[in-house]
Amino acid sequence: MSGYSKEGLPVIAVGVGLSTYDKASINYYVQSHIQMNEYRDRVILPSATKKFGRYIGTCIKILDMTGLKISALNQLKFLSVISTIDDMNYPEKTRTYYIVNAPYIFSACWKVVRPLLQERTRRKVQVLSGSGKDELLKIMDYESIPHFCRREGSGSSRQSRNGTVGDCYSLYHSFHQQLYNHVKQQAALINHVAPVKQGSFHVDFPEPDAKDVKIAKTIESEFRKLGNQKELSHSLRELKIIGD
């Protein structure tokens, strides 16, 4: 995030061209994308609403295409997943997508990508000439323009990057620091629940009363005596029959 538009909309800078989406799994990038969206909806937009004293429910995204290569088309699956997530879970959260620093191969890539987007999303995309600084100054102050748009005709955001906090891509930028801290805080709040063990379970039976134990033993003893008497009676009958 580099600042706010004159209407109070947060300005979010995205380095599309320099992104290396082949360095990790799609799931990793999707998770990061969702975290960013949640941070925008839970922190950035409410803060903008409070700052400007009126409801702010959308943002502006400036997409830097510096360094874009034709090989980026290999990541169409990722783009399709991201587009679906945004359309289903975060609709109408971006007012306009401004594309800047577009190289000559952008038109070829755009012809392939455009059909994958929803019509309502396609209507929001505006391709600006060069760094787009002049057009962006109409809707925001110079301080809110991302670093890669401040040098007209440079053709590369690398020439305007200085590695300081003014660099939108820097890990030391205040926005990134706030985002990382927020993610850490949310992770710390999660209560880790031990998994439920499957299979057999242990049942505790109450200890028997001493008196009940004595009664049970007495009954058992009497039954044994009764059984012995029956055996004796049966033996006597057999003897009587033999004697006869």
pLDDT digits (tens, 9 = 90+) for 53-91: 999 999 999 988 888 877 777 777 777 788 888 888 888
> Coil, strand or helix: which one is 98?
strand
**pLDDT given at position 44:** 92
Reported as type and span, the H/E element at residue 151 is none
Going by their DSSP bridges, the two strands 59-64 and 94-100 should be labelled as parallel
Tokens, residue 120: 């309502």
Distances, alpha carbon 126 to alpha carbons 7, 59, 61, in Å? 18, 15, 11
Q: Is the pTM of this model over 0.85?
A: no
Tell me the backbone φ, ψ of residue 58, rounded to 5 degrees: -135, 170
DSSP 192-239: PPPPPPPS----PPPPPPHHHHHHHHHHHHHHHHHHHHHHHHHHHHHH
